[in-house]
């Protein structure tokens, strides 16, 4: 329980991350109310931003629990000589997004879309066609957002070292 409190506190006390979270929620609410009907591509922008934000949340939370450092050490003990904090951080960011964004967001869409009078987007439907790949596209764009957050953070760290 103590680790969970540490993770939540590390995210909740970062005003930048809290702002990003509220920004995603506000933009999604605006999308639901009007923008998704007017500009369907706006959905992809929200998923990109959501992936970015979840990547930052995942990295910050895992760092507060020393997950990246401990994981890199374990990987090195098991023969992954190239494992380091940066590589493990990238995996943590992607896993955090895919678990929360890929499962929670898409499950929430399936659960709540009917309540809003909308047809839920199917994530897996066969045969795959251009009309039924929205869920897979959403997760892919979110993963790109998570990767973008990692690359921006890496570049910022490089610039700070100079």
Tell me the backbone φ, ψ of residue 123, rounded to 5 degrees: -90, -50
The tens digit of pLDDT for each residue in 23-40 reads: 998 998 899 889 988 998
pTM value?
0.80
The tens digit of pLDDT for each residue in 38-75 reads: 998 898 999 999 999 999 999 888 888 887 777 877 77
Sign for the CA dihedral angle at 47, 106, 12, 88 comes to: negative
Nearest residue to 136 via CA among 21, 4, 47: 47
> In this structure, are residues 59 and 93 in contact, taking their beta carbons and an 8 Å threshold?
yes
Token couple for 32: 């639901």
Domain ranges of the chain: 2-161
Tell me the backbone φ, ψ of residue 29, rounded to 5 degrees: -60, -45
């Amino acid at each position: 329980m103590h680790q969970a409190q540490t993770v939540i506190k590390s995210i909740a006390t970062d005003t930048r991350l809290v702002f990003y979270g509220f920004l995603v929620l506000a933009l999604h609410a605006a999308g639901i109310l009007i923008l998704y009907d007017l500009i369907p591509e706006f959905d992809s922008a929200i998923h990109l931003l959501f992936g970015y934000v979840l990547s930052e949340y995942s990295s910050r939370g895992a760092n507060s629990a020393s997950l990246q450092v401990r994981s890199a050490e374990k990987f090195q003990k098991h023969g992954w000589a190239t494992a380091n904090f940066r590589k493990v951080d990238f995996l943590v960011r992607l896993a955090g997004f895919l678990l929360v964004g890929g499962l929670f967001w898409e499950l929430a869409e399936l659960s709540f879309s009917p309540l809003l009078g909308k047809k839920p987007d199917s994530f897996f439907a066969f045969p795959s066609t251009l009309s039924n790949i929205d869920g897979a596209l959403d997760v892919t764009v979110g993963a790109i957002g998570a990767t973008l957050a990692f690359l921006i953070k890496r570049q910022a760290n490089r610039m700070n070292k100079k």
